[in-house]
Amino acid sequence: MRAPQETDLRAYWQQSWSSVNEADPRDVWYAIDEVKFGYLRRYLPPGGRSLEVGCGSARVSGFLAALGFEVVGLDYEVAALRLAGRGFQSGGVKGDMLLGDAFALPFADQSFDVVLSTGLLEHFADPSPIVAEMARVLRCGGIFYSDIVPRKFSLFRALDSLLSRRDDLWERPFDKGEIEALLSNEGLCGITVFAAAILPPLVPFVRRWRPVDRLQDGWARLFYKMARRWDGTKAAEVLGLYYFACAEKPSSPGMREAVPQESMTALRAA
């Protein structure tokens, strides 16, 4: 996948995926993924094929595989695909992991029932070509999903300035309106976008000491069980970590069929 300052970005991801602690995967990031998948599940078809673009550890695809989906994960980083493969093996689920380019997906038009990305689109100055490719390989009536972690203040990352290196290279700004426009401009419809994940600040350097890290993760998971009621509110717009974005590919040109809309009250109660 091409990206601004690609050499530095690729080195960053190589280091990131190589340093993941596989022995204790149920950390705060797992808790976040569990909640977002709970929201996404309301929109999913009963089964079919799914593609995760820029899959990384492919955790959300693992949840889909557990529901019986035939899943494919695609990434440009070999270390990520190896991590995803080991995660699928340890979870007892099946999926195909492919090396590839998000700007030129190696699939025919309308090949998948669900196409998704997690924490991908914010890493590109112009992510619209990626969204266009994702929409191209999505079947008519299929579901598009992305969660986007923009360069903005969030309570979870409020202490990032204490890190020895915090580089704006990795993310671009996004707001709800820009995400809605990005999806709409690529022909998607029934668009649902909301801010989510108000979490206590992640304390820098804690991950060097695993017992303390576990305490931090446990506290964050407990906190989010209560705080998820704020997902989709103005508070989440200001303090939340990411945006949930879901849409549908029209069944035929010109049609604007809506993805079944769920109120945030119903989603939070799930």
pLDDT single digits (tens) 8-51: 555 544 555 444 545 455 678 888 999 999 999 999 999 999 99
| 180 in a structural domain | yes
| 149 in a structural domain | yes
| 89 in a structural domain | yes
As a whole number of angstroms, the distance between CA 1 and CA 41 comes to: 28
Q: What is the mean pLDDT of each run of 10 residues along the chain (270 residues)?
A: 46 49 64 93 96 94 96 92 90 94 96 96 94 98 96 89 54 93 97 96 72 81 91 96 97 54 57
Residue-number span of the structural domain to which 83 is assigned: 6-269
| 136 in a structural domain | yes
| 164 in a structural domain | yes
The domain tally of the chain equals 1
| 1 in a structural domain | no
Which CATH number covers residue 156? 3.40.50.150
Count of CB atoms situated within 10 Å of the CB of 66: 13
**pLDDT tens, 81-99?**
998 999 899 889 999 999 9
State pTM to two decimals: 0.85
